[in-house]
Structure 1
Amino acid sequence: MTDDAMAHLTPAQRELVQLWLESSAQDDPAPPPYAAPATPHERLLAEIWQEVLEQEPIGVDDDYFRLGGDSITAIVVIAKAQAAGLDLTTQDLLGLRTIRKIAEAVTAFAAPATFTEDGRLTPMQQGMLFDILSEPDRAPYVVQVSARLDGDIDAEELTAALSAVVGGHRALRMSIRSGEAGPHAVFHDAVRVPVETLDLRALPPAEQRAQVEDYLARDRERGFDLGTPPLLRLGLLLLGQGSCRLVLTHHHLLLDGWSQQIVLRDFLSVYDGAAFTPAAPAKVVHTQADSRYWRERLAGFTPGRTVPGRTGPATYTTVVQTLPEELARGLTALARRCGVTVPALLYGGWALMVAELAGRRDVAFGVTVSGRSSETDAVGMFINTLPLRIQVDRREPLLPWLSRVHGQHTDLLAAQHMSLPEIARCLPVPGPARDLFDTIVVVENFPQPVREGHASQRLRISEVTTHIVEGYPLVLEVNTASPVRLALRVDTAANEEVLARFVRYLRRLCAGVDERTTVGEVAEAMGRGVTSVPRQRVGPS
């Protein structure tokens, strides 16, 4: 960056640029010498990596993460490898990391994978239902997506477009029934989407805004009868000629964030008049629960509370921070240099925060896994939330500790098909699922084609908001799309300053770390100074 450009930055921005430049200037380990693929499996994997990562040539000893790979490109790599006949899994790719090691470990498919469509619930759906049935007075897992639409607005065509999408995706026509074997999913041939249209065009702007906020608040309070499909509804608030507020509300049992984006993409595409070809129905892979892994992983662990217990209903507040591009780039550079993912850096920081809040060295918090191997365009509830257990020793060198955090997260992928109630039974003293952890980290690093500023042929999208209450008192949500956005959802018993302190941890990482840096040095930085990153309070929710 030139001196003239630096002169136009604020002192805080100049500080962040300098931190990033210093971090980028540190010597990266030299890449291995190029080694050409020699076996059929190596050549096939090299072709796939070169296509997906848009680099060539790629040698058999090149590291997947240093080449810029992440969990999103991993799903595409796995889909192409499986289509070509290789039995490649997410754990293989993220754990072995080089073509040579992967090619030695994987085999061709001996037989097609076995799927069933008998209405069994996914692990995440099982865990959600356990929560709902355990505390029926609470109403978590209602998701509300709202956006302003400008352009060619036709309420009837918008309704017809969503109805077409619901008719095409079987997962959107699901309800829950109880039987002798417990709750199970029922998929209906046809459903009618509830639509509420509110005409606010005659009102002045200030009164329009008040009416919109009142509608959104009331809509969030309305739950769903899980036995009556569909578990979604549409609101259209007409604001003027060529503008409206769209409100899509659904139960989280139907969709994860990735699937939600697919539904919104298809909805806009159908509204534009494009032909709609539904994806194959979401399929649940039924595998034997890996209780052995969880018994070993949770051996000797005693759950503890991160935040004080609350009395009465929770009142949630969301605090948002947007990271400057220089800081986000610095984190990406550090992750590649260390051979870990950016989420591993985030999980390390959250472990330090939880350790301090709980006064413990052995902590666990929930992390989301995508649950997808190659289903890039399928719709449903694929994700799962699993306990990530981390030991915090402030005397330990930071970089090996972060590498271990990365490895522990990768190991979860081999045992991600168990529900939280099943995992809780693997504790030394079995207990309810809510005893495993009371805080979660959600890293949203899935494709997001429909977001702020998106434009289709007929519509422009702005003022996008998403509301969800997971039921945990402390939730960190990280959206890795540019610009990187952090959102902290806290109830009245949690400390809102947690987010500012977490950003100090990220800044300390980008200030430069080496083999001499300890976990304690970085932890100490979380308690110093004030963050200069702009913060926006979204308000009670």
Structure 2
Amino acid sequence: MTANATDEATADGLPGRGDPAERLLRTLGELWSQALSRDPVGVDEHFLDLGGDSITSVVLSGRAQQAGIPLTPRLIFDHPTLRELAAALHARTADGSGTESGGDASSSSDARHVLAAAHQHGATGVRSLLLRLARPPATDLVEAALDAVMARHDVLRLSLTGSGPQGHRAPVAHHRLSGPTPAARTAEHRGAVQALRARIDARHGPLLAAAHMDRDDGEGAGGAAATLVLAVHEAAADARSHRLLLDELASTCEQLAHGEPVLLPEPTVPFTRWAELAQRWADGPEAAGELGHWLGVPDGTRLWPSATTKTPETGVRHTLSAELTAAQTAALLRDLPVVDGSELLDVLVAAVAHTVARHAGTPTVVLDLDADGRDLVSPDLDFSRTIGPFTATFPLAVELVGTCTAGDRVAAVRTARAEVPGTGAGYAALRRLSSDEEVRRGLTARAGAQIRVGLPPEDGCAAGPLVHISAEVVGDRLRVELVHALPLSGPSPEQLLRETVTELERAAQAPACSSGPSPGAFPLSGLGQDQLAALLSDLTHDPEESRP
């Protein structure tokens, strides 16, 4: 950028040298010169006339984000000259709307605290994600796509010791699988993924890395034209975030490959803002009101007393699965919600709890369930498209005394869940983020459950519960999966899965709850089961019998 261009901008009314607007203009000029290989760049020259295109706009946005400027490809095309772009960015910063790059230093500190707490409490592994692409991308296209996505999600640019959300880019590697046989290429692919995972460094960054792979014959692993493998630290992103990350990368790669501007849904509130509010919540009155409940939950039920609570980070994890028939699946998905408001998770938890209770010889079973913390801090803020480690677990104590049928047990689970404060996400927030050491110590001291029920676990060797049981509908059938790493006996994982599925089949045959609706169906009433039963009995009393 030339001095003449700068002087022209000043003469035309932009603030003088040293002013924030002038510094922004000069910084943008330097970035444009580097990305477009043009020096000088005039403040009124059009981006497209300078040779700019979609990929260049993404590269520019990524570099600007690293410099702390909330630039996006859309802004570049909406304001295609340096003068217009600087003025637009200055206006956004002045009115506080330029929030896409994350929060201030305090917010970044809170975010690193959240990541460190997640890391300390078991989120120490690295997840591998696979994106199949329709055509082999150039390395610069992959880099541009990653820059665009990372520019939208501040957590991906953080580290446990980093100075802020502008600290890191995602390294990209390219591997051409040239082995002469499918087995050889598979071995190459596996080695490349291991090397990719090794690049992730929670303490110093990066938290995200990528490798795109193709074959000499033009096909990538799995028969696609190319595959993009991502390695992401689990302290930075939960399962829902992984799906969002893959969706945005796929859309960005496709748009860049066609030479189109990158247009993605507007980003929601940054993770740094959520972390700031979560820290405040953990020390506030709402959290204090939940503390009594969490301190009163018994230790997790232990089916394998000699085994540790958590699996190691390394080692092969084994997955067992079984399916219900289409008719049984339809009964669970359709009939149960109509009869007594039950959700599929309630049915799964009830089946697991009943199986565990039989083997543990106890009427009260304590399992771990998944909770999504996105709604913890404020119902008015939208984090639906925000990447971060929002999923955490909480303990659920299910009392099975007097439950004779599958329906009874579902009602017991609903009652237990109705007693949980909020979504259950407050447990992890208190346990990890409370400034009161006694609170953290009290919650950390309780023994965690050996069995977790919830979202399907993803590939990888991250630490987790001894047994993770999940269910999802695939086609018209309910598939139940059990994942374990350590050898277990008495009961074996196979037996645990088989008995859980048998219980689900019973629930499908007789979905109605013999004891009627549970208090969970009336969460605001404060009624116990006996009180609710009395009221329902009164409602079903024939009014004709009261006539004289």
Common fold: TM-score over 0.5: yes
Structure 2 residue aligned with 1:422: 431
Whether the 8 Å CA contact 2:399–2:416 is kept in 1: the answer is no
Whether the 8 Å CA contact 2:408–2:514 is kept in 1: the answer is no
Structure 2 residue aligned with 1:479: 472
Quick check: 1:466 aligned with 2:459? yes
Q: Whose relative contact order is higher, 1 or 2, with alpha carbons under 8 Å and at least 6 apart?
A: 1
Structure 2 residue aligned with 1:130: 120
Structure 1 residue aligned with 2:270: 281
Change (3 A) 1:496 1:122: farther
After superposition, residues 23-422 of structure 1 pair within 5 angstroms as 117=107, 119-121=109-111, 125=115, 128-132=118-122, 140-177=124-161, 187-216=164-193, 222=198, 224-239=200-215, 240-242=217-219, 243-273=225-255, 274-276=262-264, 277-282=266-271, 283-284=273-274, 285=277, 286-287=280-281, 288=284, 290-296=287-293, 298-299=295-296, 301-310=298-307, 315=315, 316-336=317-337, 337-373=339-375, 374-393=382-401, 395-396=403-404, 398-414=406-422, 416-419=425-428, 422=431
- Where does structure 2 lack aligned partners over 5 or more consecutive residues? 1-103, 220-224, 256-261, 376-381, 517-548
Structure 2 residue aligned with 1:439: 451
Q: How far, CA to CA, are the matches of 1:307 and 1:401 in structure 2?
A: 23
Structure 1 vs Structure 2 CA RMSD: 3.7
Which SS does the other structure have where 1:372 is aligned?
helix
TM-score using structure 1 length = 0.60
Q: How far, CA to CA, are the matches of 1:362 and 1:280 in structure 2?
A: 40
Which SS does the other structure have where 2:431 is aligned?
helix
Q: 1:248: Cα distance to partner?
A: 0.9
- Where does structure 1 lack aligned partners over 5 or more consecutive residues? 1-114, 133-138, 178-184, 446-464, 519-541
Q: 1:161: Cα distance to partner?
A: 0.8
Change (3 A) 1:516 1:280: closer
Q: How far, CA to CA, are the matches of 2:267 and 2:297 in structure 1?
A: 47
- Which piece of structure 1 moves more, 318-327 or 381-390? 318-327
Which has the larger share of helix?
A: 2
Residues 196-225 of structure 1: CA deviation (Å, up to 9, x unaligned) = 2221145322321233234445655x3743
Structure 2 residue aligned with 1:67: none
Change (3 A) 1:407 1:219: farther
Change (3 A) 1:201 1:471: same
Which SS does the other structure have where 2:373 is aligned?
coil
Amino acid at match of 1:261: R
Q: How far, CA to CA, are the matches of 1:308 and 1:212 in structure 2?
A: 39
Residues 486-507 of structure 1: CA deviation (Å, up to 9, x unaligned) = 3321122332212222222211
TM-score using structure 2 length = 0.59
Which has the larger share of strand?
A: 1
Q: How far, CA to CA, are the matches of 1:156 and 1:295 in structure 2?
A: 54
Change (3 A) 1:509 1:212: same
Amino acid at match of 1:206: A
Of 487, 497, 500, the match for 2:498: 500
Extract structure 1 runs of 4+ deviating beyond 6 A.
423-427
Change (3 A) 1:350 1:304: closer
Amino acid at match of 1:258: R
Q: 1:265: Cα distance to partner?
A: 1.1
Whether the 8 Å CA contact 2:431–2:443 is kept in 1: the answer is no
Whether the 8 Å CA contact 2:200–2:209 is kept in 1: the answer is no
Change (3 A) 1:210 1:127: same
Which SS does the other structure have where 2:187 is aligned?
helix
Whether the 8 Å CA contact 2:124–2:462 is kept in 1: the answer is yes
Change (3 A) 1:228 1:476: same
Change (3 A) 1:152 1:506: same
Q: 1:401: Cα distance to partner?
A: 3.8
Whether the 8 Å CA contact 1:438–1:474 is kept in 2: the answer is yes
Whether the 8 Å CA contact 1:141–1:252 is kept in 2: the answer is yes
Whether the 8 Å CA contact 2:300–2:450 is kept in 1: the answer is no
Structure 1 residue aligned with 2:65: none
Amino acid at match of 1:499: L
Change (3 A) 1:159 1:478: farther
Whether the 8 Å CA contact 2:158–2:167 is kept in 1: the answer is no
Q: 1:190: Cα distance to partner?
A: 4.7
Question: Number of residue pairs matched?
Answer: 371
Residues 104-134 of structure 1: CA deviation (Å, up to 9, x unaligned) = xxxxxxxxxxx983532599756533335xx
Residues 89-111 of structure 1: CA deviation (Å, up to 9, x unaligned) = xxxxxxxxxxxxxxxxxxxxxxx
